[in-house]
Amino acid sequence: MTRIKNIISNQYHQLNLAERGRIESLRDLDWSIRRIAQALHRNPSTISRELKRGTTTQINASTHIFEQSYLAETGEAIYRKHRLNSCYQHRLNSCYRGLFDHCQTFCNALVTALKARPRMHSVDTFVHQFKTDHPRLVCPSTPTVYRYIDDQRLAIRNSDLPAKLRRRIKCPGAKHHRINKKNLGHSIEERPAMVQARQELGHWEGDLVKGKRVESEPALMTLTERVSRLEIIVKLPNYHADTCLKALQNTLYDYGTEHFKTITFDNGAEFSSLSQVKGTDIYFAHPYSPWKRGTNENTNGLLREFFPKGRSLASASLIDIQLAQDTLNNRLRRSLNYRCPADLMPELA
């Protein structure tokens, strides 16, 4: 069998002006990208990127119509402009010190933002906001920032990022099949399909956030809207079933029952009376299946930054709770395309 020789070099070299001139002339002959690549012994992707960079709009002298065409000189000029700002050029000038040394403005602002209390940003949302506000300044990517933190190159530690410490590696392929052994009301299986699809506002998930796990201790009832991620937090004097029922009913009346089409709770004993609530439909998730109410569980995790586990909530004032609620509702979320929950439901925020 005849072995076909690979005509494309394994070591990449930048296009030169002569090659760009050939690309211009061959493109004028309506050659395809792949055919030009074969003629220049280049990868088609290289030719495609070069055509995108060097294509400009000009007016045809005979037809007086604006046309787009590739110009070798334009491609060369853009290449040299990019080269001046490249790390390679900095090395030639003996002043290259790495990305980290060129983004100190970002790093200082990041440390300040992540150590602020209340904290309004995660690493990812701060990176997004910094790029938006300072497009001309050097800004590393989110994974790079996490590497800096792991390498202790910033005045931030993993202990300053509660959400990162809570992450667990999911077991691939693990399946869980649960059924409701206690019949507290409508099962989560009976929820309308649009709830699962997040197709409209007004479908909530709820739970209790407890300080000390004693029924007589205060607790926080949290309600999270599935689409907007808006959070409502209500302090309870205890987490008895009748207390939860009364608190939820009052909350619906305070905010307006028209904003609550469905609410899904877990099947804990403290929620055993919630099927009596008026103004909304209550559903109950399967036991030991917190991912069935993942939106609320995730937000409760964020709430732990304000109210840590094991610490009594007796001293948590209404001002403290309102501050936590407002902070969560005004944080940018990547899941919301870097908007905040208050933007999507301003009438309840």
Query: What is the per-residue DSSP string for 230-276?
Result: -EEEEEES---HHHHHHHHHHHHHHH-GGG-SEEEE---GGGTTGGG
* 302 vs 158, more confident: 302
pLDDT at residue 328, rounded to an integer: 96
Render pLDDT for 159-198 as a digit per residue (tens, 0 to 9).
778 666 555 555 555 555 555 556 788 999 999 999 999 9
If pLDDT is split at 50, 70 and 90, which confidence band does 98 have? Answer: confident
Q: Please state the rounded mean pLDDT for residues 271-293.
A: 93
Any idea how long the chain is? 349
Give the span between the Cα atoms of 208 and 270, in whole angstroms.
Answer: 9
* 251 vs 175, more confident: 251
Q: What is the mean pLDDT of the chain?
A: 87
Regarding pTM above 0.85, the answer is: no
265: pLDDT strictly greater than 50:
yes
φ, ψ (nearest 5 deg) of residue 337 = 60, 45
23: pLDDT strictly greater than 60:
yes
Of 322, 296, 297, 302, give the one whose Cα is nearest residue 229: 296
Render pLDDT for 29-82 as a digit per residue (tens, 0 to 9).
999 999 999 999 999 999 999 999 898 887 766 776 778 889 989 888 888 888
Give the span between the Cα atoms of 230 and 335, in whole angstroms.
Answer: 12
Render pLDDT for 300-342 as a digit per residue (tens, 0 to 9).
999 999 999 989 999 999 999 999 999 999 999 999 999 999 9
pLDDT at residue 65, rounded to an integer: 76
Q: Is the dihedral of CA 339, 343, 345, 349 positive or negative?
A: positive
Burial, 144: exposed, middle or buried (Cβ in 10 Å; 0-12, 13-18, 19+)?
middle
Characterize the bridge pairing of strands 231-236 and 219-225. antiparallel
Extents of the domains making up the chain: 17-92, 100-161, 186-344
Give the span between the Cα atoms of 236 and 220, in whole angstroms.
Answer: 6
Q: What share of the chain in percent tops pLDDT 70?
A: 86
* Domain 186-344 in this protein, CATH class: alpha beta
DSSP category for residue 339: B
